[in-house]
Amino acid sequence: MLEIIWHAQWFFLLYFILLNGGYIILNIFSLFSISRYMQSHEFQSIPQAYAGYLPPISILVPAHNEEATITAAVRSLLQLDYSEYEIVVINDGSDDSTLEALIKEFDMAVFPEAYRIRLKSSRVRSIYLSASSPNLRVIDKVKGGKADALNAGINSSRYPLFCSLDADSFLQRDSLQRVISPFVEDPHTIASGGTVRIANGCQVRDGFLVKMGLPSNILALFQIVEYIRAFLFGRLGWSGMNALLVISGTFGLFNKELVVRAGGYDTDTVGEDMELVTRLHKMMRLQGRPYRITFVPDPICWTEVPQDFRTLKNQRVRWQRGLAESLSKNLELLFHPKGGTVGWVAFPFMAVFEWIGPLIEVVGYLFTIIAYMMGAITFESLAAFLIVAIGMGTLLSVTGLLLEELSFHVYKKPSQIFVLFFAAVLENFGYRQLNSLWRFIGLCRWALGHKYEWGEMVKTGKWARQTR
């Protein structure tokens, strides 16, 4: 028995070392990547002389019960700095006043437009066109979920590239000009994604950020550190290897024809954004076609994050279930002879440390603590485990903040940097472990085949109510 416990504790210790060691390697890749990006782009959007030659973009905004934010979000989109784009809002069976608010605010009327069904979706009831903004349309359809709404938006879109955007988010004015850059620089680019940042605590006017701030809510503060860590070294590191498996559904740009060829968004998953990107990798790799899926760090989309435990738990359970569904549906890519870096490095890393990782982490914490209480392991062994788990987590969070400071320096005040540093340390004492538990719950629900229910996703919509 003691021998089993001895081997088990070393297994869990080794797992945590490998997990955080892998993230440190990603961090190093990201540091070099962002250094090269800064030197080559100098954070300038595409020059105005070339702006008129950029490919047109269809912005797809799926909306279900978004009456609190939808008009502010659309007003913001209508003011973007881009030469040619259209906005397609997909009202996915809302039972509030989402559709009525759009009709009233933007002078919309039913328009007899031809609707080409290339991807299957729930029935479209009507299509509305704005009299005041000719590049704005609204699709009113029977409820089918976010993936189904995006498929309907793709069917109705007119342009070769489409940008998926959440209805409770808003872009910086030049974000489209920046996120399009990989398509301009490399004709093999099929998708690109930008950075998602947190609007809680910021001042917003007419759908645009006017003053950077930090939230007073501790959960939102922890999530700022999480988002910096996830985008600035997680996705940036994988992008450099053309092994990026996730482009956030909050803000992503795609080649429409290739998405249609891949079958569109999968309506049988709650992680439709990751599943689509993973499937695109699989399709292109197995067909032996050159392609790039890229993360671009400076196009920014601002969004509001949950500020209560129940909403945050629902979100993290959903994310974990979506990750499990995305990987399990595309297992053919794993160690495939044509899989390349994504099939031989990124996919197994995500499978071991993100897919089944919550199981190992939760069991590891419980096993170590219970074994210590039973006297099966020494205090020194328990201390070594906790120091590695918490210490490495703190190191990753702090280096993520350092990467942010060396590159974008979004948070200007020294007091803001101090608060974020404090949050980067404090999150490792309970918050990260709670996240592992929530992810474990999501993994169990996926494994047991439980029917998924979104639950109530509570957001204040405060940014949408801030006007001049």
Q: What pLDDT shows up at residue 19?
A: 84
Residues contacting residue 147 through CB under 8 Å, at least 6 positions apart:
264, 265, 266, 267, 269, 272
How would you label 196-235 residue by residue, b for 16+ Cβ within 10 Å and e otherwise? bbbbbbbebeebbbeeeebbeeebbbbbbbbbbbbbbbbb
Residues contacting residue 401 through CB under 8 Å, at least 6 positions apart:
225, 228, 417, 420, 421, 424
* pTM of the entire predicted model: 0.91
H helix runs in 244-378, sequence order: 256-262, 272-287, 309-328, 340-341, 347-350, 357-373
Residue 447 lies in a domain: no
User: Tokens 């990782």 appear where?
Assistant: 357
- Which structure tokens are listed for 444? 């169990």
Q: In this structure, what DSSP letter does residue 29 have? A: H
Rounded to 10 degrees, the C-alpha dihedral 131/137/138/141 comes to 130
Which of the four pLDDT bands, split at 50, 70 and 90, describes residue 235?
Answer: confident
Residue 280 lies in a domain: yes
Dump pLDDT digits (tens) for 162-218: 999 998 888 988 999 999 999 999 999 999 999 999 999 888 877 778 888 899 999
Residue 391 lies in a domain: no
Which of the four pLDDT bands, split at 50, 70 and 90, describes residue 462?
Answer: low
The more confidently predicted of residues 421 and 7 is 421
Residue 388 lies in a domain: no
User: Residue 289: left if φ>0, alpha if ψ -120 to 50, beta else—which one?
Assistant: beta
Cβ count near 193 (within 10 Å): 31
Residue numbers of the domain that contains 223:
20-352+458-465
Dump pLDDT digits (tens) for 146-161: 999 999 999 999 999 9
Q: What pLDDT shows up at residue 183?
A: 95
- Which structure tokens are listed for 265? 């968004």
Q: Among 202-206, 362-366, 416-420, name the one with the lowest average pLDDT.
A: 202-206
CATH number where 190 lies: 3.90.550.10
Phi, psi (rounded to 5 degrees) for 194: -110, -170
Q: What pLDDT shows up at residue 39?
A: 66
Residue 435 lies in a domain: no
Q: What pLDDT shows up at residue 414?
A: 86
Residue 384 lies in a domain: no
Dump pLDDT digits (tens) for 38-60: 666 654 555 555 556 789 999 99
Dump pLDDT digits (tens) for 208-234: 788 888 999 999 999 999 998 888 778
Residue 277 lies in a domain: yes
Cβ count near 337 (within 10 Å): 9
Strand 161-165, strand 57-63: pairing = parallel
- How far is Cα 411 from Cα 459, in angstroms, rounded to an integer? 23
Tally the domains of the chain.
Answer: 1
The more confidently predicted of residues 28 and 430 is 430
Q: What pLDDT shows up at residue 468?
A: 47
Dump pLDDT digits (tens) for 242-284: 999 999 888 999 999 999 999 999 999 989 999 999 999 999 9
- How far is Cα 459 from Cα 305, in angstroms, rounded to an integer? 7
- Which structure tokens are listed for 52? 């008129």
Residue 38 lies in a domain: yes
The mean pLDDT of the chain is 87
